[in-house]
Structure 1
């Protein structure tokens, strides 16, 4: 499916670099730019005395004013753009912010996190949770120092035959069809999980969709899978890495680590993720 609407998520204090990045991607493919400026309400005090309540309400009012000012500034920034654009702001209690962001993402074909959002903390985590678990929209992570494109020449797909990897591959079909090289990478493939010839099924599926695909089967040699994937992508001069997100439960990945966690914490190149 082509990316007709691209969502850029930002906060009140993240600057304009991520929005400009998303606008540039929209210009590449003639897509509509949707901007969501998310604000997190201050935590409600557990002990409610009048003085504390007044302070909390004043802080909340200031945060709402900052959000409104940020929305006006973004509108001014984009007013001369030739793109089709909509701008929305959402002020949410911290616990519900992921749902608010997820609802907005349901009306986009792709969401984009630039370096500023990736470097954030509270908003980053809530936005990731909302996009990956409260919407079906794929997410493009763009780390600092990388040059993102939605017309990549070389793409690498991390493949484990799981549901998440399948969704990520389908979500990226528009990118894959136009690429000169697509490498499906399997690390320590297990025959019982992926068939007698691991990677053959997905290669056949992609080929029927007009994708020029090569299967790479690699040993991990005891290294973390995320590290092997990222290094292979660099070795292949890939423009983008496609990967499923959270094949295990979020709680398990947070406690014990996982491929998704490692890729999110230290992306080496643009990564398109889907859950």
Structure 2
């Protein structure tokens, strides 16, 4: 597989659980695990006034907590015989995004668990720095279900858009190794200029030229949310992983009005690889 450096981001919520899932991924891939222990700092000024002792006390408390997580992380990685490095990043949102961007440039895949995703602001910073700026795939690892980057059966969410095509290209090696790839279109646009003569046929032919065993499926949502349709179908076909493109609309529109990507980031219970 092409994933040799895994960048896992953990926060101060459920750090042990998120780390355990990242270690499982790195062990499976025989990859180096790079861990960022991240804390979003409260700004040092409030309006036009400098912060007082309360801010300093909170900063010291946050840093002590993150330092403890860093030490526990290093101990767990050493105990499991992993090649690893671990650093603490504690800064306000913009600097955190920049640091994630810098680190993600030298990683093959980013990994976050439910603990990080419980913090919507931190998740947003990870998406901004890692997915948008560094253009690295992001693996969402939910608890309660095994997650693998060596899947036997894959569901590729397809809508004939650039984001979906980039996600497919990013995961091409993975799909080549899989036994079966289901290209799934929910309420597909059947107009010729969007999906060609038959929705899904073009991408199926493209994947088949790479030796991938492809099944094309067109599903009706029946007024259900697209993310719910995808997750339920993934369970029905016993898929190991959903692959999808990130943010089909503008980032601003997606944040204000939501969308499939936003919903998946917040509450999915199935392993998903997001790329852009």
TM-fit CA distance, 1:148:
0.4
In the superposition, relative to structure 1, how do residues 146 and 163 fare at CA in structure 2: closer, same or farther (>3 Å)?
same
**Structure 2: distance between partners of 1:158 and 1:26:** 25
1:253 aligned to 2:254?
yes
**Alpha carbons 2:21, 2:141 under 8 Å: kept:** no
Aligned residue in 1 for 2:210? 209
**Structure 1: distance between partners of 2:102 and 2:255:** 24
Aligned residue in 2 for 1:233? 234
Aligned residue in 1 for 2:224? 223
Aligned residue in 1 for 2:143? 144
In the superposition, relative to structure 1, how do residues 267 and 13 fare at CA in structure 2: closer, same or farther (>3 Å)?
closer
**Alpha carbons 1:103, 1:134 under 8 Å: kept:** no
1:114 aligned to 2:147?
no
The number of aligned residues is 273
TM-fit CA distance, 1:137:
0.8
TM-fit CA distance, 1:12:
3.6
TM-fit CA distance, 1:146:
1.2
- Name structure 2 gaps, 5 residues minimum: none
Note the 1:61-210 alignment, pairs <5 A.
61-190=60-189, 191=191, 192-210=193-211
Aligned residue in 1 for 2:265? 264
TM-fit CA distance, 1:47:
4.3
Pick which of 58-67 and 143-152 moved more.
58-67
In the superposition, relative to structure 1, how do residues 207 and 104 fare at CA in structure 2: closer, same or farther (>3 Å)?
same
TM-fit CA distance, 1:63:
2.5
TM-fit CA distance, 1:13:
4.4
3-state DSSP of counterpart to 2:254: helix
Aligned residue in 2 for 1:24? 24
Q: Per-residue CA shift, 1:199-252, capped at 9, x if unaligned? A: 122111111222111111122233222222222111111111101110101221
TM-fit CA distance, 1:138:
0.2
TM superposition outliers: structure 1 runs of 4+ over 6 Å: none
Note the 1:5-20 alignment, pairs <5 A.
5-20=5-20
TM-score (norm 2): 0.91
Aligned residue in 1 for 2:274? 273
**Structure 2: distance between partners of 1:46 and 1:162:** 43
**Structure 1: distance between partners of 2:121 and 2:269:** 22
In the superposition, relative to structure 1, how do residues 119 and 168 fare at CA in structure 2: closer, same or farther (>3 Å)?
same
**Alpha carbons 2:12, 2:65 under 8 Å: kept:** yes
Q: Per-residue CA shift, 1:172-204, capped at 9, x if unaligned? A: 122211211110011222232011122122111
TM-fit CA distance, 1:153:
1.3
Root-mean-square deviation (Å):
1.8
TM-fit CA distance, 1:254:
2.4
**Structure 2: distance between partners of 1:232 and 1:203:** 18
